Amino acid sequence: MSLDPFLIRAALAGLGVALAAGLLGCFVVWRRMAYFGDATAHAGVLGVALALGLGLPLGLGLLGVAGAMAFLAVRLTDRTFGADSALGVLAHGALGVGLFAAALTPGPRMDLEAVLFGDVLTVGWGDLGLIWAAAAGVAGLIWWNWGLLLTSTLAPDLARAGGMDPRRGSLLLALLVAGLVAVAIQVVGALLVTALLILPAAAARGLARTPEGMAVAACALAAVAALGGLGLAVAADSGVGPATVTVAAGLFAALAGLGRLRRGGPVA
């Protein structure tokens, strides 16, 4: 039985986003940056609204606003603001302003459901090329800067002693997350992209003993979630974004339960 071309494109798009999210997600989990991912992803709604209002390409609006939000979040959390409070304000403020701006945008109404929850089945070959180019760029930059990113994440004092600037690592990671958000919103949506960053990486923690091993495991689990979510969505006639996150959550729950059983502790 042959697959429809739109399903093949959807599967390839999901895989591209999943591989990049698996790599970046490890650093998000290590740095406890869940709110940072939310702030950057929610800014995507504002980016779409501004792009439509100004007649700009959606990708440009998404990347510009998500990048600005990432830079602002890094600057705020480096100052006197508490990290959780600052990122919480940015995350919810960006979503509220974005939804308000969408309501005021002239012309055809923005498809808020597609922006919030994704619509991977509408991905074209041009979008697919952009997604895989972004995934390759994320993977290449992480590989090239692995030492800086890992050391500034796990041991900032050691990074300074070795002549590295941890702030450079934080800014690079923030911009990479912004780039991923800009291309991932069409696949899983602004409300769910952070879940795809966190769940596979968190599930991979118990499968590896080294950071490199965890990154590989996270990519594999994210790929399973992407393909499994597509299959679940087709079978249940539901949205692909929520189905993908559902599969990722199921993988996390199953692996967490197996880990507790191996250690002899209660599952609950």
Residue 240 maps to which CATH number? 1.10.3470.10
> Is position 163 within any domain?
yes
Name, of 116-130, 145-159, 229-243, the range with top average pLDDT. 229-243
> Is position 268 within any domain?
no
CA dist 166 → 73, 153, 198, 228 (Å): 15, 8, 22, 37
How far is CA 4 from its chain centroid? Answer: 27
Averaged pLDDT, 161-166: 77
Element (H, E) at 98: helix 83-104
Q: Which position has the higher pLDDT, 168 or 253?
A: 253
Averaged pLDDT, 233-247: 90
Tokens of 127: 């979008």
Chain segment 172-199, per-residue pLDDT in tens: 888 888 888 888 887 888 878 888 899 9
Can you give the pLDDT at residue 114? Answer: 76
> Is position 266 within any domain?
no
> Is position 267 within any domain?
no
Averaged pLDDT, 17-28: 92
> Is position 83 within any domain?
yes
Tokens of 209: 């003993």
Chain segment 61-75, per-residue pLDDT in tens: 888 888 888 778 777
C-alpha span between 48 and 61 (Å, rounded): 6
- If one counts the domains in the chain, the total is 1
> Is position 251 within any domain?
yes
pLDDT band at 107 (very low <50, low <70, confident <90, very high): low
Can you give the pLDDT at residue 83? Answer: 62
C-alpha span between 224 and 70 (Å, rounded): 28
Share of the chain above pLDDT 70, in %: 91
Domain that holds residue 252: 5-257
Chain segment 134-152, per-residue pLDDT in tens: 889 999 999 998 988 888 8
Is 1 a residue whose pLDDT tops 60? no
Q: Angle 160-142-224 (CA atoms, 0-180°, nearest 5)?
A: 135
Buried b (16+ CB within 10 A) or exposed e, 182-218: bbbbbbbbbbbbbbbbbbbbbbbbbbeeebeebbbbb
Tokens of 20: 């990049």
